[in-house]
Amino acid sequence: MHITDNTQSITGLILAGGQASRMGGEDKGLLFLNENRLIEHVIERLEPQVKQIRISCNRNIESYQLYGYPLITDDRHALDGKAEFNGPLAGVLAGMEEINTKYTLIVPCDCPVLPCDLGQRLMKALIQNNTDAAIPFDGTRAQPLFLLIKTELKDALRSYYLEGGRSMRRWLKRNLVTEVNFSKEKEAFINLNTDRELQNFAKGAKRPPA
């Protein structure tokens, strides 16, 4: 496979199933940033990088259906006695179980300026280093929820989840992972976790370059 021809082997998985406790329980993907909802900003940047998109969500199903992409809920993985909000790992697992492309590119719904070449650069590093997954390094820390991973690892992820594992970082340590330097685009990985962060971002106070 040529590195430049890899979009047809990637499914994009947007994680929009969180509880958003720091946002007062609001569904972050559906909050407005200027004229568009957060998930619309993410879709705009992700769509050219992948063959298809799936959305992992646990509520407001009718609203997410309007975008025309298959929706995936993680209620079948509610091993903690909760029907929803089982953490990002449950959303990743449920998503990968429904994906049939060779690779899955995972991104959160609250990062409206994710790099437009994220998939390409992660794929290049994954192939060159012959690893199972690739994640960005923003100059300060790795960003494991911006993840390109071989979809076949869903079986190993399921085993880890059934063992009670909930940490993406700890699970990735069990696999061969390449970190890719995105330190020049650190602000592209900003998460809008509070209403103040969202409002400041909308005003351009912390707006990363497009």
CB atoms within 10 A of CB 67: 15
Does residue 122 lie within any of the structural domains? yes
Instruction: Using alpha carbons, select from 13, 181, 7 the residue that is nearest to residue 104.
Output: 13
Q: Which helix (H) or strand (E) holds 10?
A: strand 10-15
CB atoms within 10 A of CB 28: 22
Express each pLDDT in 41-98 by its tens digit: 999 999 999 999 999 998 899 999 999 999 998 765 555 445 455 688 989 999 999 9
How many whole angstroms separate alpha carbon 62 and alpha carbon 60? 6
Provide the number of structural domains found in the chain.
1
Does residue 111 lie within any of the structural domains? yes
Does residue 73 lie within any of the structural domains? yes
Range of the domain at 69: 3-202
Alpha helices in the chain (DSSP H): 38-46, 61-65, 88-97, 118-129, 154-162, 168-172, 195-202
Does residue 209 lie within any of the structural domains? no
Query: Residue 182: what pLDDT?
Result: 97
Does residue 148 lie within any of the structural domains? yes
Does residue 108 lie within any of the structural domains? yes
Express each pLDDT in 82-113 by its tens digit: 545 568 898 999 999 999 999 999 999 999 99
The partner residues of 71 in beta bridges, in order of sequence, read 55
CATH number reported for the structural domain that contains residue 162 in this entry: 3.90.550.10
Does residue 96 lie within any of the structural domains? yes
Does residue 34 lie within any of the structural domains? yes
